[in-house]
Amino acid sequence: MLLQNHPHKPGFASHDWRHVGPLCIRNKWLGRWRSVKVLAAKKGGDKKGGDKKGPKKSALADLMKKKEAAAPAGQPAVSAQYDTPEARMLAFQMCDSYWRLTKKYLMEGADFNRLPAELFRAPFALLAHNRFQEGVTDPIYIYGNRAALEVFETTWDELLQTPSRKSAADNPNAQKDCNGPLDKAAETGVASGPEVWRVSKSGQRFKIKDGTFFNIMDREGNKLGQATVFDRYEREDGREIQITAAPREEGEGVVEGALDIPTPEQIQAAEAAVAEQAAHVRSLKGDQGLSNQDIPVQLAVHELKKRKETLARLQKQLEDALAAQEALFDDEDD
């Protein structure tokens, strides 16, 4: 979970977007370490009725619409906010875009199943806004990991309602300083090394040191948004802060309450969630013409598997509870 330093200079990895560089992650469901390579679909496909399709949806747009559970007081975010299917896709797109533009790994050795959580707790600050989205004139943040939320003294819910221009002082010079690297990245794909001043929610100014500003792209190279990553910053008093990874929470990933009796509503909701995700997988394959080798299908299938596992767990809990109840009645009859 480190920012790996490679000798390659930042820049576009290739002008042929059909072959995207690897994101070095561990894919549990494939059972081995590998570099995931994305084969993008050809532009201008020959599907019938292709011109009748509406605007393409993206994880960035979906993420803005999704309202998740609020974090407890004193906690910047909870996994229910940064580990949704939409946020999972966004996490992959940020890591994949960073690789393609810099030939460096944003995350290395991260378990694919835990990519959103590892990215959230990473030893660097990462923010993204929805520039390039259709109709957007005042970009709003659509992602901020744990370090970014702490540096900017805000929460997930607050950040996702904040225009990115608010990260700098409200004066022409500060806004120019704020937009410079982002405008350069918009033209060239990436801007590395600029030291720029930002301001937190409480008004505390700090300088980003050796930041990297880059475009977030889909598999075909279409620009979806922009992200900023940095692992150190300087306060106004001259103190330099090195960002460190957050420790994993105790008991994280442990399923609690295995003996709880699920309600009929919980079973029905789990069944509906499985049916909904299965329909989504069919839509990706049937309507969009994607295959099992395409990342969106792999992510959707992975989410379907998770929902099926949740349903199976609830059904097993119900069966165990019924069996225990029957055993109790048998004992009472004796």
How much is the CA Rg of the chain, to the nearest whole Å? Answer: 22
**2-57 pLDDT, tens digit each:** 333 333 333 333 333 223 333 443 333 222 222 222 223 333 344 444 444 444 44
pLDDT of residue 318: 80
pLDDT score of 9: 34
Per-domain boundaries in the chain? 19-40+58-242, 264-333
Domain 19-40+58-242 bears CATH identifier 3.30.450.20:
yes
User: Tell me, what's the pLDDT at 295?
Assistant: 92
> What are 287-305's pLDDT values in tens digits?
999 999 999 999 999 999 9
Q: Which of 36-40, 176-180, 328-332 has the lowest mean pLDDT?
A: 36-40
Strand ranges for the chain from DSSP E:
19-27, 32-39, 110-111, 125-129, 141-144, 190-192, 196-199, 205-208, 212-217, 223-230, 232-235, 240-242
pLDDT at 35: 29
- Mean per-residue pLDDT of the chain: 76
Torsion 101-205-130-82 (CA) sign: positive
**What is the share, in percent, of the chain residues with pLDDT greater than 90?**
50
| pLDDT recorded at residue 301 | 94
Helix-then-strand count for the chain, H and E:
9, 12
Residue 251 has pLDDT above 60, yes or no: no
Mean pLDDT along residues 163-177 = 90
At residue 124 the predicted structure's pLDDT band, cuts being 50, 70 and 90, is very high
Query: From the CB of residue 208, how many other CB atoms can be counted at a distance below 10 Å?
Result: 23
More confident residue, 161 or 327: 161
